[in-house]
Protein backbone atom coordinates (compact mmCIF):
# COMPACT_ATOMS: atom_id res chain seq x y z
CA UNK A 1 0.00 0.00 0.00
CA UNK A 2 2.85 2.40 0.78
CA UNK A 3 4.00 2.18 -2.86
CA UNK A 4 0.78 4.06 -3.73
CA UNK A 5 0.27 6.11 -0.57
CA UNK A 6 3.96 6.60 0.19
CA UNK A 7 5.33 8.71 3.08
CA UNK A 8 6.57 11.44 0.72
CA UNK A 9 3.04 11.81 -0.70
CA UNK A 10 1.56 12.00 2.80
CA UNK A 11 4.12 14.63 3.85
CA UNK A 12 3.32 16.70 0.73
CA UNK A 13 -0.41 16.47 1.49
CA UNK A 14 0.18 17.62 5.07
CA UNK A 15 2.35 20.48 3.86
CA UNK A 16 -0.27 21.58 1.32
CA UNK A 17 -3.04 21.56 3.91
CA UNK A 18 -0.94 23.26 6.62
CA UNK A 19 -1.24 20.38 9.09
CA UNK A 20 2.35 19.15 9.15
CA UNK A 21 3.70 18.56 12.65
CA UNK A 22 5.75 21.52 13.91
CA UNK A 23 7.01 19.89 17.10
CA UNK A 24 7.95 16.36 18.15
CA UNK A 25 4.93 14.29 19.17
CA UNK A 26 4.37 10.65 20.04
CA UNK A 27 1.72 10.71 17.29
CA UNK A 28 3.06 12.81 14.37
CA UNK A 29 0.57 13.88 11.71
CA UNK A 30 2.01 11.43 9.15
CA UNK A 31 1.43 8.52 11.53
CA UNK A 32 -2.12 9.68 12.23
CA UNK A 33 -2.91 9.73 8.49
CA UNK A 34 -1.88 6.07 8.23
CA UNK A 35 -3.84 5.27 11.38
CA UNK A 36 -7.01 6.81 9.92
CA UNK A 37 -6.49 4.84 6.69
CA UNK A 38 -5.99 1.65 8.72
CA UNK A 39 -9.33 2.24 10.46
CA UNK A 40 -11.01 1.61 7.09
CA UNK A 41 -9.46 -1.88 6.93
CA UNK A 42 -10.54 -2.94 10.40
CA UNK A 43 -14.07 -1.65 10.93
CA UNK A 44 -14.77 -4.17 13.68
CA UNK A 45 -11.70 -3.25 15.74
CA UNK A 46 -11.27 -0.59 18.41
CA UNK A 47 -8.75 2.25 18.15
CA UNK A 48 -6.16 0.42 20.25
CA UNK A 49 -6.70 -2.85 18.37
CA UNK A 50 -6.14 -1.07 15.03
CA UNK A 51 -3.00 0.57 16.42
CA UNK A 52 -1.73 -2.86 17.50
CA UNK A 53 -2.31 -4.23 13.99
CA UNK A 54 -0.63 -1.20 12.42
CA UNK A 55 2.54 -1.68 14.47
CA UNK A 56 2.56 -5.49 14.66
CA UNK A 57 5.12 -5.88 11.88
CA UNK A 58 7.71 -3.63 13.54
CA UNK A 59 8.92 -6.47 15.75
CA UNK A 60 11.45 -5.33 18.36
CA UNK A 61 11.30 -1.66 17.33
CA UNK A 62 9.99 0.34 20.33
CA UNK A 63 6.72 2.10 19.50
CA UNK A 64 4.31 4.31 21.43
CA UNK A 65 1.29 2.70 23.10
CA UNK A 66 -1.30 5.48 23.00
CA UNK A 67 -4.66 5.10 24.71
CA UNK A 68 -7.93 5.48 22.82
CA UNK A 69 -8.45 9.07 23.95
CA UNK A 70 -4.99 10.07 22.66
CA UNK A 71 -5.77 8.55 19.27
CA UNK A 72 -9.14 10.34 19.21
CA UNK A 73 -7.47 13.70 19.98
CA UNK A 74 -4.89 13.04 17.26
CA UNK A 75 -7.70 12.50 14.76
CA UNK A 76 -9.30 15.79 15.75
CA UNK A 77 -5.98 17.64 15.38
CA UNK A 78 -5.52 16.18 11.91
CA UNK A 79 -8.99 17.17 10.66
CA UNK A 80 -10.51 16.17 7.33
CA UNK A 81 -8.40 18.43 5.07
CA UNK A 82 -5.44 16.08 4.54
CA UNK A 83 -7.66 13.08 3.75
CA UNK A 84 -9.76 15.16 1.36
CA UNK A 85 -6.61 16.32 -0.43
CA UNK A 86 -5.17 12.79 -0.48
CA UNK A 87 -8.32 11.43 -2.12
CA UNK A 88 -8.33 14.22 -4.70
CA UNK A 89 -4.77 13.23 -5.69
CA UNK A 90 -5.58 9.51 -5.92
CA UNK A 91 -8.91 9.95 -7.74
CA UNK A 92 -8.90 9.53 -11.49
CA UNK A 93 -9.08 6.94 -14.29
CA UNK A 94 -7.06 3.74 -14.05
CA UNK A 95 -7.79 1.84 -17.28
CA UNK A 96 -5.51 2.08 -20.27
CA UNK A 97 -6.59 1.41 -23.84
CA UNK A 98 -5.93 -2.31 -23.48
CA UNK A 99 -8.83 -2.61 -21.02
CA UNK A 100 -11.65 -2.72 -23.57
CA UNK A 101 -14.26 -3.08 -20.80
CA UNK A 102 -13.67 0.59 -19.94
CA UNK A 103 -14.13 2.01 -23.44
CA UNK A 104 -16.69 2.28 -26.22
CA UNK A 105 -15.39 3.30 -29.65
CA UNK A 106 -12.49 5.16 -28.05
CA UNK A 107 -14.62 6.91 -25.41
CA UNK A 108 -13.90 6.24 -21.75
CA UNK A 109 -17.05 4.93 -20.04
CA UNK A 110 -17.97 6.61 -16.75
CA UNK A 111 -21.13 6.34 -14.67
CA UNK A 112 -22.64 8.63 -12.06
CA UNK A 113 -24.89 7.41 -9.28
CA UNK A 114 -25.64 7.95 -5.61
CA UNK A 115 -26.03 5.97 -2.42
CA UNK A 116 -26.32 6.58 1.32
CA UNK A 117 -24.10 5.75 4.29
CA UNK A 118 -25.45 5.37 7.82
CA UNK A 119 -23.98 7.57 10.57
CA UNK A 120 -24.23 7.17 14.38
CA UNK A 121 -27.42 8.43 16.00
CA UNK A 122 -25.81 11.24 18.00
CA UNK A 123 -26.89 14.86 18.54
CA UNK A 124 -23.45 15.99 17.33
CA UNK A 125 -24.31 14.33 14.00
CA UNK A 126 -28.08 14.68 13.48
CA UNK A 127 -27.99 18.49 13.35
CA UNK A 128 -26.20 18.18 10.00
CA UNK A 129 -26.86 14.66 8.70
CA UNK A 130 -30.55 14.23 9.36
CA UNK A 131 -32.76 11.16 9.60
CA UNK A 132 -35.71 10.37 7.39
CA UNK A 133 -38.84 12.06 8.67
CA UNK A 134 -42.04 10.01 8.78
CA UNK A 135 -45.60 11.04 9.45
CA UNK A 136 -45.05 11.22 13.20
CA UNK A 137 -41.31 11.35 13.90
CA UNK A 138 -37.85 10.90 12.46
CA UNK A 139 -36.66 7.30 12.17
CA UNK A 140 -33.60 5.22 11.30
CA UNK A 141 -29.97 6.34 11.29
CA UNK A 142 -28.76 9.74 10.10
CA UNK A 143 -27.88 9.40 6.42
CA UNK A 144 -24.94 10.72 4.41
CA UNK A 145 -25.67 11.10 0.70
CA UNK A 146 -22.68 10.01 -1.41
CA UNK A 147 -22.57 10.60 -5.17
CA UNK A 148 -19.60 9.38 -7.21
CA UNK A 149 -18.37 9.41 -10.79
CA UNK A 150 -17.05 5.91 -11.50
CA UNK A 151 -14.93 4.60 -14.35
CA UNK A 152 -16.73 1.57 -15.77
CA UNK A 153 -14.71 -1.63 -15.97
CA UNK A 154 -12.14 -0.75 -13.31
CA UNK A 155 -14.72 0.90 -10.98
CA UNK A 156 -12.15 3.60 -10.16
CA UNK A 157 -13.44 6.80 -8.60
CA UNK A 158 -13.08 9.82 -10.86
CA UNK A 159 -14.53 12.03 -8.14
CA UNK A 160 -16.95 11.92 -5.23
CA UNK A 161 -19.01 14.37 -3.18
CA UNK A 162 -21.17 13.83 -0.14
CA UNK A 163 -23.35 15.71 2.31
CA UNK A 164 -26.77 15.68 3.98
CA UNK A 165 -29.40 13.41 2.46
CA UNK A 166 -31.99 16.20 2.26
CA UNK A 167 -30.04 17.69 -0.67
CA UNK A 168 -31.05 16.10 -3.97
CA UNK A 169 -28.78 13.61 -5.70
CA UNK A 170 -28.84 15.66 -8.88
CA UNK A 171 -27.42 18.71 -7.07
CA UNK A 172 -24.42 16.66 -5.91
CA UNK A 173 -23.99 15.14 -9.38
CA UNK A 174 -23.66 18.60 -10.96
CA UNK A 175 -20.58 19.20 -8.79
CA UNK A 176 -18.91 16.22 -10.47
CA UNK A 177 -19.35 17.41 -14.04
CA UNK A 178 -16.00 19.22 -13.92
CA UNK A 179 -14.32 15.79 -14.11
CA UNK A 180 -15.84 15.14 -17.56
CA UNK A 181 -14.22 15.98 -20.88
CA UNK A 182 -14.64 15.20 -24.56
CA UNK A 183 -12.93 11.81 -24.23
CA UNK A 184 -15.69 10.39 -22.01
CA UNK A 185 -19.13 8.84 -22.34
CA UNK A 186 -21.37 9.35 -19.30
CA UNK A 187 -23.91 6.69 -18.26
CA UNK A 188 -26.63 7.60 -15.77
CA UNK A 189 -29.87 6.21 -14.36
CA UNK A 190 -33.37 7.64 -14.62
CA UNK A 191 -34.07 11.05 -13.06
CA UNK A 192 -30.77 12.42 -14.41
CA UNK A 193 -32.65 13.56 -17.52
CA UNK A 194 -33.34 17.11 -16.26
CA UNK A 195 -32.65 19.78 -18.88
CA UNK A 196 -30.12 21.67 -16.73
CA UNK A 197 -28.10 18.52 -16.08
CA UNK A 198 -28.15 17.45 -19.73
CA UNK A 199 -27.06 20.89 -20.88
CA UNK A 200 -24.27 21.10 -18.30
CA UNK A 201 -23.04 17.60 -19.22
CA UNK A 202 -23.03 18.45 -22.92
CA UNK A 203 -21.16 21.70 -22.28
CA UNK A 204 -18.22 19.66 -20.93
CA UNK A 205 -17.82 18.07 -24.37
CA UNK A 206 -18.70 14.62 -23.04
CA UNK A 207 -21.22 12.30 -24.66
CA UNK A 208 -23.96 10.77 -22.57
CA UNK A 209 -26.34 7.81 -22.57
CA UNK A 210 -28.85 7.98 -19.77
CA UNK A 211 -32.20 6.58 -18.97
CA UNK A 212 -35.26 8.81 -19.03
CA UNK A 213 -38.35 8.39 -16.92
CA UNK A 214 -41.42 6.84 -18.50
CA UNK A 215 -43.36 10.01 -17.70
CA UNK A 216 -41.43 11.88 -20.37
CA UNK A 217 -43.15 11.53 -23.75
CA UNK A 218 -40.82 13.08 -26.35
CA UNK A 219 -42.07 14.34 -29.67
CA UNK A 220 -40.73 12.38 -32.63
CA UNK A 221 -39.02 14.99 -34.81
CA UNK A 222 -37.08 12.69 -37.12
CA UNK A 223 -37.26 8.86 -37.13
CA UNK A 224 -34.05 6.93 -37.82
CA UNK A 225 -33.61 3.56 -39.60
CA UNK A 226 -32.73 1.61 -36.42
CA UNK A 227 -36.01 2.54 -34.71
CA UNK A 228 -34.63 5.42 -32.67
CA UNK A 229 -35.53 9.04 -33.36
CA UNK A 230 -34.26 12.57 -32.89
CA UNK A 231 -35.95 15.11 -30.64
CA UNK A 232 -35.08 17.97 -28.29
CA UNK A 233 -35.23 18.35 -24.52
CA UNK A 234 -36.55 21.77 -23.53
CA UNK A 235 -36.26 23.64 -20.21
CA UNK A 236 -39.31 23.96 -18.02
CA UNK A 237 -38.97 27.72 -17.58
CA UNK A 238 -40.95 29.66 -20.18
CA UNK A 239 -38.30 32.38 -20.46
CA UNK A 240 -35.58 29.81 -21.20
CA UNK A 241 -37.81 28.18 -23.84
CA UNK A 242 -38.49 31.54 -25.45
CA UNK A 243 -34.75 32.13 -25.76
CA UNK A 244 -34.41 28.97 -27.85
CA UNK A 245 -32.48 26.86 -25.30
CA UNK A 246 -32.66 23.15 -26.06
CA UNK A 247 -30.55 19.99 -26.03
CA UNK A 248 -30.71 17.92 -29.21
CA UNK A 249 -30.91 14.23 -28.30
CA UNK A 250 -31.60 10.87 -29.83
CA UNK A 251 -34.17 8.62 -28.14
CA UNK A 252 -33.86 4.83 -28.05
CA UNK A 253 -36.95 3.01 -26.79
CA UNK A 254 -37.09 -0.73 -26.19
CA UNK A 255 -38.86 -3.31 -24.08
CA UNK A 256 -36.44 -5.16 -21.80
CA UNK A 257 -37.41 -8.69 -20.80
CA UNK A 258 -35.59 -10.38 -17.91
CA UNK A 259 -36.03 -14.12 -17.44
CA UNK A 260 -34.69 -15.56 -14.16
CA UNK A 261 -33.47 -19.09 -13.55
CA UNK A 262 -36.64 -19.93 -11.62
CA UNK A 263 -38.79 -18.96 -14.60
CA UNK A 264 -39.83 -15.55 -13.32
CA UNK A 265 -40.32 -13.13 -16.20
CA UNK A 266 -40.32 -9.34 -15.97
CA UNK A 267 -40.78 -6.78 -18.73
CA UNK A 268 -40.14 -3.05 -18.52
CA UNK A 269 -39.67 -0.15 -20.86
CA UNK A 270 -36.27 1.46 -21.32
CA UNK A 271 -36.12 4.92 -22.84
CA UNK A 272 -32.58 6.13 -23.35
CA UNK A 273 -31.50 9.68 -24.20
CA UNK A 274 -28.14 10.24 -25.89
CA UNK A 275 -26.27 12.93 -27.76
CA UNK A 276 -24.69 10.23 -29.96
CA UNK A 277 -26.92 11.23 -32.88
CA UNK A 278 -25.36 9.08 -35.63
CA UNK A 279 -27.46 5.91 -35.81
CA UNK A 280 -25.11 4.18 -38.25
CA UNK A 281 -22.02 4.66 -36.10
CA UNK A 282 -23.83 4.04 -32.80
CA UNK A 283 -26.62 1.49 -33.41
CA UNK A 284 -29.49 1.34 -30.94
CA UNK A 285 -28.69 -2.28 -29.99
CA UNK A 286 -25.16 -1.24 -28.98
CA UNK A 287 -26.46 1.58 -26.79
CA UNK A 288 -28.99 -0.67 -25.02
CA UNK A 289 -26.25 -3.13 -24.06
CA UNK A 290 -23.85 -0.31 -23.27
CA UNK A 291 -26.25 1.26 -20.77
CA UNK A 292 -26.22 -1.96 -18.76
CA UNK A 293 -22.60 -1.20 -17.78
CA UNK A 294 -23.94 1.62 -15.60
CA UNK A 295 -24.27 -1.03 -12.90
CA UNK A 296 -20.51 -0.81 -12.39
CA UNK A 297 -21.32 2.16 -10.12
CA UNK A 298 -23.58 -0.07 -8.03
CA UNK A 299 -20.79 -2.65 -7.78
CA UNK A 300 -18.45 0.11 -6.60
CA UNK A 301 -20.88 1.00 -3.81
CA UNK A 302 -21.24 -2.68 -2.90
CA UNK A 303 -17.45 -2.86 -2.46
CA UNK A 304 -17.47 0.26 -0.28
CA UNK A 305 -20.45 -0.59 1.88
CA UNK A 306 -20.37 -4.40 2.09
CA UNK A 307 -16.72 -5.39 1.61
CA UNK A 308 -14.94 -2.50 3.36
CA UNK A 309 -17.58 -1.27 5.82
CA UNK A 310 -19.04 -4.76 6.20
CA UNK A 311 -22.52 -3.25 6.32
CA UNK A 312 -21.71 -1.32 9.49
CA UNK A 313 -22.55 2.21 10.57
CA UNK A 314 -19.69 4.71 10.27
CA UNK A 315 -17.76 4.92 13.53
CA UNK A 316 -17.15 8.67 13.90
CA UNK A 317 -19.50 10.57 16.22
CA UNK A 318 -19.01 14.12 14.95
CA UNK A 319 -19.45 15.84 11.59
CA UNK A 320 -15.71 16.61 11.09
CA UNK A 321 -14.87 13.05 12.11
CA UNK A 322 -17.37 11.61 9.63
CA UNK A 323 -15.96 13.74 6.83
CA UNK A 324 -12.45 12.55 7.66
CA UNK A 325 -13.60 8.92 7.85
CA UNK A 326 -15.45 9.00 4.52
CA UNK A 327 -12.51 10.58 2.68
CA UNK A 328 -10.23 7.91 4.20
CA UNK A 329 -12.68 5.23 3.04
CA UNK A 330 -12.66 6.64 -0.49
CA UNK A 331 -8.86 6.97 -0.52
CA UNK A 332 -8.39 3.36 0.58
CA UNK A 333 -10.85 2.13 -2.03
CA UNK A 334 -9.12 4.11 -4.79
CA UNK A 335 -5.68 2.87 -3.72
CA UNK A 336 -6.91 -0.72 -3.94
CA UNK A 337 -8.33 -0.13 -7.42
CA UNK A 338 -4.98 1.34 -8.49
CA UNK A 339 -3.29 -1.81 -7.19
CA UNK A 340 -5.64 -3.89 -9.35
CA UNK A 341 -4.60 -1.71 -12.29
CA UNK A 342 -0.93 -2.37 -11.50
CA UNK A 343 -1.57 -6.13 -11.54
CA UNK A 344 -3.16 -5.97 -15.00
CA UNK A 345 -0.33 -3.73 -16.24
CA UNK A 346 2.22 -6.31 -15.12
CA UNK A 347 0.22 -9.11 -16.74
CA UNK A 348 -0.72 -7.95 -20.26
CA UNK A 349 -3.95 -9.47 -21.51
CA UNK A 350 -5.46 -9.83 -18.05
CA UNK A 351 -8.83 -8.11 -17.74
CA UNK A 352 -9.24 -5.99 -14.62
CA UNK A 353 -12.72 -7.49 -14.22
CA UNK A 354 -11.11 -10.78 -13.21
CA UNK A 355 -9.59 -9.16 -10.12
CA UNK A 356 -11.57 -9.95 -6.98
CA UNK A 357 -11.97 -6.82 -4.84
CA UNK A 358 -12.63 -9.00 -1.78
CA UNK A 359 -9.31 -10.84 -2.22
CA UNK A 360 -7.56 -7.53 -2.87
CA UNK A 361 -8.98 -5.97 0.30
CA UNK A 362 -8.24 -8.95 2.54
CA UNK A 363 -4.69 -9.34 1.21
CA UNK A 364 -4.00 -5.64 1.84
CA UNK A 365 -5.39 -5.91 5.39
CA UNK A 366 -3.17 -8.93 6.05
CA UNK A 367 -0.11 -7.02 4.84
CA UNK A 368 -0.81 -4.19 7.27
CA UNK A 369 -0.41 -6.68 10.09
CA UNK A 370 2.52 -8.81 8.88
CA UNK A 371 4.59 -6.54 6.62
CA UNK A 372 7.70 -5.01 8.26
CA UNK A 373 7.15 -1.70 6.44
CA UNK A 374 8.74 -0.18 3.33
CA UNK A 375 12.49 -0.46 3.12
CA UNK A 376 14.19 2.78 2.14
CA UNK A 377 15.86 2.56 -1.23
CA UNK A 378 13.98 -0.61 -2.17
CA UNK A 379 12.77 -1.07 -5.73
CA UNK A 380 9.03 -0.74 -6.23
CA UNK A 381 7.28 -3.78 -7.69
CA UNK A 382 3.95 -3.82 -9.50
CA UNK A 383 3.20 -7.28 -8.14
CA UNK A 384 4.03 -7.71 -4.47
CA UNK A 385 2.44 -9.95 -1.86
CA UNK A 386 -0.98 -8.43 -2.49
CA UNK A 387 -0.69 -8.83 -6.26
CA UNK A 388 0.37 -12.47 -5.89
CA UNK A 389 -2.69 -13.16 -3.73
CA UNK A 390 -4.90 -11.57 -6.40
CA UNK A 391 -3.35 -13.59 -9.25
CA UNK A 392 -3.83 -16.81 -7.26
CA UNK A 393 -7.55 -16.12 -6.89
CA UNK A 394 -8.70 -14.66 -10.21
CA UNK A 395 -12.39 -14.62 -11.06
CA UNK A 396 -13.59 -16.79 -14.00
CA UNK A 397 -13.14 -15.44 -17.51
CA UNK A 398 -16.78 -16.02 -18.40
CA UNK A 399 -18.92 -14.35 -15.76
CA UNK A 400 -22.50 -15.50 -15.34
CA UNK A 401 -25.13 -12.85 -15.96
CA UNK A 402 -26.96 -12.62 -12.67
CA UNK A 403 -29.59 -10.48 -11.01
CA UNK A 404 -28.74 -9.36 -7.49
CA UNK A 405 -31.17 -10.05 -4.66
CA UNK A 406 -32.79 -6.89 -3.32
CA UNK A 407 -35.03 -6.31 -0.35
CA UNK A 408 -37.65 -3.60 -0.07
CA UNK A 409 -36.96 -1.27 2.82
CA UNK A 410 -39.62 -0.69 5.48
CA UNK A 411 -40.16 2.87 4.26
CA UNK A 412 -38.94 2.76 0.68
CA UNK A 413 -39.74 5.59 -1.71
CA UNK A 414 -39.84 2.99 -4.51
CA UNK A 415 -43.09 1.30 -3.50
CA UNK A 416 -44.00 0.81 -7.16
CA UNK A 417 -41.11 -1.68 -7.45
CA UNK A 418 -42.45 -3.98 -4.74
CA UNK A 419 -41.95 -7.69 -5.50
CA UNK A 420 -40.06 -6.93 -8.72
CA UNK A 421 -36.70 -8.19 -7.43
CA UNK A 422 -35.75 -11.75 -6.42
CA UNK A 423 -34.94 -12.71 -2.84
CA UNK A 424 -31.90 -14.71 -3.96
CA UNK A 425 -29.16 -14.07 -6.52
CA UNK A 426 -30.15 -15.80 -9.75
CA UNK A 427 -28.77 -16.27 -13.24
CA UNK A 428 -30.78 -14.39 -15.84
CA UNK A 429 -31.07 -13.67 -19.53
CA UNK A 430 -31.78 -10.28 -21.11
CA UNK A 431 -33.67 -9.62 -24.32
CA UNK A 432 -34.39 -6.26 -25.99
CA UNK A 433 -37.21 -5.51 -28.41
CA UNK A 434 -37.19 -2.08 -30.05
CA UNK A 435 -40.37 -0.02 -29.87
CA UNK A 436 -41.76 0.45 -33.37
CA UNK A 437 -43.07 3.83 -34.51
CA UNK A 438 -43.13 5.12 -30.95
CA UNK A 439 -46.09 2.82 -30.08
CA UNK A 440 -45.21 2.24 -26.42
CA UNK A 441 -48.73 1.28 -25.36
CA UNK A 442 -48.64 -1.75 -27.65
CA UNK A 443 -46.25 -3.51 -25.28
CA UNK A 444 -43.32 -5.81 -26.11
CA UNK A 445 -45.48 -8.22 -28.10
CA UNK A 446 -47.47 -5.52 -29.91
Residue 58 has pLDDT above 60, yes or no: yes
Could you tell me the pTM of the whole model?
Answer: 0.91
95 burial level (CB within 10 Å; 0-12, 13-18, 19+): buried
Res. 307 pLDDT band, cuts 50 70 90? very high
159 vs 406, which has greater pLDDT? Answer: 159
What is the bridge-based pairing of β-strands 207-211 and 184-188?
parallel
User: Where in the chain are the domains?
Assistant: 7-88+315-391, 91-301
Average pLDDT value for residue range 69-80? 96
Residue 412 has pLDDT above 60, yes or no: no
pLDDT tens-digit readout, 12-44: 999 999 987 766 678 999 999 999 999 999 999
Q: Which of 231, 233, 236 is nearest to 221 (CA)?
A: 231
Q: Which of 297, 291, 254 is nearest to 274 (CA)?
A: 291
Q: Which of 361, 370, 349, 366 is nearest to 390 (CA)?
A: 361
Q: Cβ distance 156 to 334 under 8 Å?
A: yes
Per-residue pLDDT, 414: 53
Res. 174 pLDDT band, cuts 50 70 90? very high
Per-residue pLDDT, 420: 63
Residue 378: partners with Cβ closer than 8 Å, 6 or more residues away: none
Residue 343 has pLDDT above 90, yes or no: yes
- Angle value at C-alpha 144, between 139 and 149, nearest 5 degrees: 140
Q: Which stretch of DSSP H or E encloses residue 34?
A: helix 29-41
Average pLDDT value for residue range 101-124? 96
Q: Identify the three-state secondary structure at position 143.
A: strand
Residue 301 has pLDDT above 60, yes or no: yes
pLDDT tens-digit readout, 60-74: 888 889 999 999 999
Residue 373 has pLDDT above 80, yes or no: no
Q: Cβ distance 185 to 209 under 8 Å?
A: yes
Q: Identify the three-state secondary structure at position 271.
A: strand
- Angle value at C-alpha 441, between 436 and 446, nearest 5 degrees: 55
| For the chain, percent of residues with pLDDT exceeding 70 | 88
Most confident range, picked from 128-142, 168-182, 249-263 = 168-182
pLDDT tens-digit readout, 226-251: 999 999 998 877 666 667 789 999 99
Res. 263 pLDDT band, cuts 50 70 90? confident
Res. 378 pLDDT band, cuts 50 70 90? low
Q: Cβ distance 282 to 176 under 8 Å?
A: no
Residue 89 has pLDDT above 90, yes or no: yes
Q: Cβ distance 330 to 144 under 8 Å?
A: no
Amino acid sequence: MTEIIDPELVDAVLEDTGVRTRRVRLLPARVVVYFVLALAFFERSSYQAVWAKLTAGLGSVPVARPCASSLARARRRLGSGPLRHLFSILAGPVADRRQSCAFYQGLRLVAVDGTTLSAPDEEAVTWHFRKHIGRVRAFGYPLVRLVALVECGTRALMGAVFGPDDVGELAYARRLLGHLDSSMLLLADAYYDAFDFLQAAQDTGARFVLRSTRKRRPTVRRPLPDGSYLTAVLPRRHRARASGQRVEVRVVEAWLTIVLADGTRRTELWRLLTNLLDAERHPADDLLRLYHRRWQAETCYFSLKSTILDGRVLRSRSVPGLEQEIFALLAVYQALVQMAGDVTTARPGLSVQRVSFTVLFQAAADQIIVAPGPARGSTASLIGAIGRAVLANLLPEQRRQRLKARYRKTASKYQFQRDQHPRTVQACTLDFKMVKDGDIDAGPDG
